[in-house]
Structure 1
Amino acid sequence: MRRRKWLERAKSLLIAVLALTVLALTVLALPAKTVTDTPWLAALVRPFASVMGLTQGELTATPMADAASVTGAAQPVAVSVRNPAGRTSFQFDTAALDTAFEQFGAALGQALEGAQEPQRTTALRIQTALGKTSVAFRYPGEISPALAASWLQVETALDESVRAQWLILANEDAAVNLYLVGDELFVCQTQLDGDALEQLLQSCTPDGSFFAFEDAQARFSSVEPLSLLPGQTPQLHAAEAANPCDARFSDALAATLGFNPYGDARYTDDAGNTTYTETGYALSISASGELLLRADVQSTRFQAASGEQAELVECARSLLSTMTAGVNSDARLYLTDLEQNGSESVCTFDYFLSGIPVLPSGGYGAEVRFSGASIVQVRLVLRAYTLTTQTLSVLPPAQAAAILPEGSALRLVYSDTSAGITAGWQS
């Protein structure tokens, strides 16, 4: 009886082994792309990567944001409201900017969704519109309204070729017009109701802020007319910068990106610069915190869903978010430029503290290059920026305007230099 029981168990074990063998052979026979594109299959065969002629990295999924977590590659760094009582503006304060955008951003989304064909307009008409009931959003750089619409999760008929840094909603004759202000000036009719915009903006209390062209004393006639100025000289928080790239951070980042941080493909030179390599990919992290990621054009690990602007920017934003996830910083990376030439695209990002750009010595915070829909190079300055409780004094706006070159935008910046973080009006 006992012998028969052991025999039955042996048969069951043999059947299980045969079944697993058939399953394993079936998986190993699948096309490599099917395996790498299917997360659970990739995880299952990762221990047998060499058998399939794949690398560990090709079977490691790099985390990307899902649709529900997309926050946009940039948010406005200034929001200014004009109602019958006067003007109030939100800038130099991340929390206040977030709250203002939550309150007024939906109106911008509705305007973009129903915007009609853009028509060219003039600076004078835009200034007149800003004197009426209006809300103006300034983005970190010139972007297409189509990108702004995608971040607000709406669709728009506006073409990707139109670029604007200011997006302005103004109530004119009981109808809301959308002004797009960049190197070129456009106005679009929208389906928003003027009374609805009036009601949305009526609760704002004037704070003394103004555009340069609105100054009755003409103290700012030499600067860019849409320079948005506070009612009083701003007090900025001092900031500190640190390099987060110790060995533990670098190895963890490499592993997140699909590299093996513990094998022969990892090399650290005498200066502390670390390089990770595998077929088709290379990652370098310098001792000073400068990251360089390279990928072959044929590689698919870092790839956008398509070659459309919104997909490219979201892919770049998501990858940079993954790269900086381990950095404890008060700064945000915002898209400041998007250049396209045929199938080549370059997304530039910069750090912002309290809505104020941080200018690193290298010229930008991050640069992501695409060939088609594939990322082929990423340059990223890894820095942890922290605001302190101390404040920095800057020149009064009128004094700063007097020494700026004519036509310059009057804006505050942080500068990340070898001597530390300084703040002032950009010259």
Structure 2
Amino acid sequence: MNKNATLMSHLQNAAIVVLTVTAVLLLIQTPLVGDLAGKTPYELAQDWLAGDTSTDTAVTTDLTELALPVRVVFTNEYARYGLSAITTLDTDFELAGAFFGEALGSATTYEACSGEKLLTALHASSIYLDLEAPTPLEVLSRILGVNDAPESSLLRVTRLVLCPAENGATLYLQDTDQGFFVSRTAISSATLREALASLDGNGTDFAFSLSGEFSQLSPYTLIFSEPPQRYTLSAGNALTDQATFLRLAEFNPHTESGYTDSSGNTIIKEVYGTLRLEPDGSVFYQGADEAEAGSIYYVFAASTGKPTLLEAVAGAQRLAFTLLRDVSGDAELYLSEIDSSNKRFTVSFDYAVGGTPLRFSDGSHAATVTIEDQTITEFFLHCRSYTLSDSPALLLPIRQAAAIADSKYLSAELHVCYDEHGADTVGVGWFAD
């Protein structure tokens, strides 16, 4: 009797084990409902173990990673050497970047001066730096690796000139709204002259030195006897992996709260915000007024609720780089515009490819980020991917472009940009500013 009872007990235990294992197997194969639809508990556990969280996927950024397109001219006693189609990240910029970084780091008080003084400095030995976009001087300083530049938050610079003087090199700059400024620096004039003297000319000149059609252009327009060869781009929608994008944007990639409207736009609404993903790769976001620390939408500020300009740019850059940098192909991002009022910042970025800036035909930016207090409340993105081809891009000769500009504009400054119309191929053209 005891043997039969023991046998029965063993059989019952075995049955319980089999039923338990069967239940677990059924559970891990059962899809969930609601926002987790389409995922089994096992798959969710895999996602969690793989770090499927927004805080793990947000990138760490630094202002030195912004690829600001620039044009540089070195002038010595005998010739000029010019560079175009480069950014602040290129090795060709290192010499100019080192000099201007040291100049900004050692500049004393900026005093107002006339534009003629800056223009006169270009006639003699000097280094000229032309920025694609007006850039706050403190942001430019950080881009050049200078962390302790004198306070100059009110200045938004479009061009700079560094030239030898009696007591150290002199720095001139132009602010887009406030005019021209000058400052002494700690750079040795002898060192600057030596660096300039070592360079040979390459047929670069300013419009102010030339006659004919060029004389009617902005004196700062650069004329290259052999302009750098640019190539056409193949372009496409970079929003091909929506699940990854949603995860990076801190949205549930398996949500059932999304729908597609009659225009083909995907609308996803969650408690903290709404995303609209359009068929061409455009993305719009509108969100809550407050984000949690660590979120991609949170902007760090040393003073609670009051991010500085640098902190606002850093927060916007973090979002733009997280969502765009790995899918944009050969394109790089640079800071192209920043507006501020009270506790609100609007920060915009654009693409540059092969050192040449890219402009959208509708005047929009690659990314525009709105910050209120310490939260990113809105953003717009052009999720586009660009690949440099082997086909040379056709470009109207500058003499013909100058003749056209003279008939339409007064003292236009000409430069080359990629002209993006949303097609599969992108070419270059002359733009007048």
Pick the TM interval, shorter chain: 0.7 to 0.9
Give the letter for the 2:413 counterpart: A
Aligned-partner Cα distance in 2 for 1:393–1:123: 35
Q: CA deviation at 1:84?
A: 2.6
Is 1:179 aligned to 2:172, yes or no? yes
C-alpha distance 244-60 of structure 1, shift in aligned 2 (>3 A): closer
Q: Is the 8 A contact 1:235 1:394 kept in 2?
A: no
* Structure 1 match to 2:246: 254
Q: CA deviation at 1:70?
A: 4.7
Aligned-partner Cα distance in 1 for 2:131–2:224: 18
* Structure 2 match to 1:158: 151
Is 1:379 aligned to 2:385, yes or no? no
Q: Is the 8 A contact 2:69 2:352 kept in 1?
A: no
Is 1:349 aligned to 2:349, yes or no? yes
Is 1:411 aligned to 2:406, yes or no? no
Q: CA deviation at 1:269?
A: 4.2
Is 1:223 aligned to 2:217, yes or no? yes
* Structure 1 match to 2:337: 337
TM-score by length of 2: 0.79
**RMSD of aligned alpha carbons:** 2.5
The gaps in structure 2 that reach 5 residues or longer are 1-44, 302-306
Work out which of the residue numbers 183, 186, 189 in structure 2 matches 1:191: 186
Q: Is the 8 A contact 1:272 1:287 kept in 2?
A: yes
Q: Is the 8 A contact 1:109 1:154 kept in 2?
A: no
Aligned-partner Cα distance in 1 for 2:112–2:212: 28
* Structure 1 match to 2:64: 71
Is 1:133 aligned to 2:128, yes or no? no
TM-score by length of 1: 0.80
Q: Is the 8 A contact 1:368 1:375 kept in 2?
A: yes
Aligned-partner Cα distance in 2 for 1:398–1:71: 36
Q: Is the 8 A contact 1:242 1:385 kept in 2?
A: yes
* Structure 2 match to 1:23: none
Work out which of the residue numbers 286, 292, 298 in structure 2 matches 1:303: 298
SS in structure 2 opposite 1:61? helix
Aligned-partner Cα distance in 2 for 1:229–1:174: 32
Give the percent of matched residue pairs that are identical in Structure 1 and Structure 2. 26
* Structure 1 match to 2:429: 424
SS in structure 1 opposite 2:131? strand
Is 1:388 aligned to 2:381, yes or no? no
Q: Is the 8 A contact 2:130 2:160 kept in 1?
A: yes
C-alpha distance 72-396 of structure 1, shift in aligned 2 (>3 A): same
SS in structure 2 opposite 1:378? strand
Q: Is the 8 A contact 1:235 1:393 kept in 2?
A: no
Give the letter for the 1:85 counterpart: Y
Aligned-partner Cα distance in 2 for 1:332–1:145: 21
Q: Is the 8 A contact 1:74 1:140 kept in 2?
A: no
Q: Is the 8 A contact 1:293 1:379 kept in 2?
A: yes
* Bigger Cα Rg: 2
Give the letter for the 1:175 counterpart: G
Aligned-partner Cα distance in 2 for 1:265–1:296: 17
Aligned-partner Cα distance in 1 for 2:338–2:310: 11
Structure 1 residues 289-324: Cα deviation after superposition (integer angstroms, max 9, x where no partner): 001122211123212222111111122112111111
Q: CA deviation at 1:411?
A: 1.0
Tell me the number of residue pairs that the alignment of Structure 1 and Structure 2 aligns: 369
Work out which of the residue numbers 205, 211, 225 in structure 1 matches 2:206: 211
Q: Is the 8 A contact 1:62 1:256 kept in 2?
A: no
Matches within 5 A, 1:73-88: 73-88=66-81
C-alpha distance 187-334 of structure 1, shift in aligned 2 (>3 A): same
Matches within 5 A, 1:96-175: 98-151=90-143, 152-175=145-168
Q: CA deviation at 1:123?
A: 2.0
Aligned-partner Cα distance in 1 for 2:346–2:393: 35
Structure 1 residues 143-183: Cα deviation after superposition (integer angstroms, max 9, x where no partner): 12111112213211132111111122111235211111133
